[in-house]
Amino acid sequence: MNKNHGLRPELSDFVEAMEAKLEKNDHKPDWEQESLDYLKDRLMDEVQELSDAFDNFSFSSVYHDNRNIADEAVDVANFAMMIYSKVKKGKMKKVKPPQPTRNDMLDCFDGMCLFLTIHGWAKRDERAVAIRKLIVEAKEKP
């Protein structure tokens, strides 16, 4: 165990690396204001960067530079910590996806009909007219 709150030496070193990276990025906007979706996307970006660092590492090279792998591992951990922290604090706001408006649905429907007609896959018949009428007459949700 280590003097750092009884943490194992490896964990203590890792936490210190995480903190150093966070301090280095203190000039950036506050991550606590970011959405969970954004943080998840950034986490996945960092996982890909870590994977790329492994792919680019050469065990046969004379100079074994593993700093990039370690650096990317710290980035992954920091984004995972950010997600953990927001979830633990109950800052998980479920974002309701925007509902399409009637005009959005009509534009989409008309576009599909046009596409199918251009490619000879369908002709605009009574069914298409009936569906369009249902969309037009549907009540907008508040």
Question: Is 94 part of a structural domain of the chain?
Answer: no
Residues 46 and 107 occupy one common structural domain: no
Question: Is 81 part of a structural domain of the chain?
Answer: yes
Please give the pLDDT value at position 1.
40
Length of the chain (residues):
142
The total of structural domains in the chain comes to 2
Pairwise pLDDT comparison (103 vs 73), residue with the higher score: 73
Residues 129 and 69 occupy one common structural domain: no
Q: What is the pTM of this model?
A: 0.60
Q: Is the pLDDT of residue 102 over 90?
A: no
Pairwise pLDDT comparison (63 vs 47), residue with the higher score: 47
- Percent of the chain whose predicted confidence (pLDDT) is above 70: 79
Selection from 76, 10, 1 nearest residue 40 by Cα: 76
Residues 27 and 64 occupy one common structural domain: yes
For CA atoms 26, 28, 30, 34, give the dihedral sign: negative
Expressed as residue numbers, the domain containing 32 is: 9-88
Question: Is 1 part of a structural domain of the chain?
Answer: no
Residues 82 and 120 occupy one common structural domain: no
pLDDT for 11-41, tens place per residue? Answer: 999 999 999 999 999 998 888 888 888 999 9
pLDDT band at 2 (very low <50, low <70, confident <90, very high): very low
Residues 51 and 113 occupy one common structural domain: no
